[in-house]
Amino acid sequence: MSTKVPAIRSQALERGVDLERFPAHVGVIMDGNGRWATGRGLQRLLGHREGYRTLRRVLLAASELGVRYLTVYAFSAENWRRPEDEVRGLLSLIEQAARDELRIMHQNNVRVQVAGRTDELPEGLRAALEHGIKTTAKNTGITFTLAINYGGRAEIVDAIQGIVREGIPASEITEELLSQRMYNPETPDPDLIVRTAGEMRWSNFLIWQAAYAELFVTEKPWPDFGGDDLIEAVLSYQVRTRKFGGV
């Protein structure tokens, strides 16, 4: 294995990032693809295509920086309300990405998982995701979670339905039990949520898990986001004191 320090790590150190206090789990609301495209007179789908290129770079940067879990909001349960051609285009872009990126992700020791009602996705996309999950299941590097057909409230509903189906008595329902029934219970709660394109909203993203997460919002639309912005988000996270309700 190479002993070379990746350029992004040196850059982070130069900017004063404390590599010992890195957020283990970063969630990203990748917003602004549409605005990025229409602002250039392009079709919205070209913004999503550019957003895909950004995601590749950011996944690599996060992995080199030592982030253990990266969760991205690729398609929300509400995104079905978009025009049919955008929905189709976006889902087929994700399917193509899942197939095309698998080899490189596997080589980089990335473990892939999904969060969301994947049983409602088109067959081809589901198969590509399942293949990616299976192939990378034993990898030990960064865990990359694709939130797809995902809604935070739906996740809580799914968890409760499972609990009720099993006949678990009300007195045994605790926060710990609910956490165990989320889509990926072994994934720690996010420490930092990054949102691009300036909106100060949660948009139903990881609402159970992000109860104590720090939020970083940048004005930049997702296609313009880069490793340097990730470093800035981490720096902003590191200057805050997390209190978890204490003093």
Q: Which residues bind ligand FPP (CB under 6 A)?
A: 30-35, 48, 51-52, 55, 74, 79, 93-94, 97, 146, 197, 222
Assess contact for 33 and 78: CB atoms under 8 A.
no
Clarify whether 184 is annotated catalytic. Answer: no
Of the candidates 115, 51, 119, 116, which has an alpha carbon nearest to the alpha carbon of residue 89? Answer: 51
C-alpha span between 76 and 117 (Å, rounded): 10
**Shortest distance, CB of residue 185 to ligand FPP, whole angstroms?**
22
**Shortest distance, CB of residue 72 to ligand FPP, whole angstroms?**
6
Burial class (CB in 10 A: 0-12, 13-18, 19+), 86: middle
**Shortest distance, CB of residue 47 to ligand FPP, whole angstroms?**
6
- Tell me whether residue 51 or residue 190 sits nearer to ligand FPP (CB atom): 51
**Shortest distance, CB of residue 101 to ligand FPP, whole angstroms?**
8
C-alpha span between 14 and 181 (Å, rounded): 41
**Strand 25-29 and strand 143-150: pairing?**
unpaired
- Tell me whether residue 31 or residue 191 sits nearer to ligand FPP (CB atom): 31
- Tell me whether residue 18 or residue 199 sits nearer to ligand FPP (CB atom): 199
Clarify whether 229 is annotated catalytic. Answer: no
The count of other CB atoms within 10 Å of the CB of residue 39 is 11
What order do you get walking across the sheet with 25-29 strand by strand? 111-115, 143-150, 69-76, 25-29, 192-195, 214-217
- Tell me whether residue 34 or residue 151 sits nearer to ligand FPP (CB atom): 34
Say which of 18, 31, 85, 109 is annotated catalytic: 31
Q: What share of the chain is helix, strand, coil (3-state, %, to 5)?
A: 50, 15, 35
Say which of 18, 33, 79, 229 is annotated catalytic: 79
Q: Which helix (H) or strand (E) holds 149?
A: strand 143-150
- Tell me whether residue 93 or residue 127 sits nearer to ligand FPP (CB atom): 93
Report the catalytic residues.
31, 79
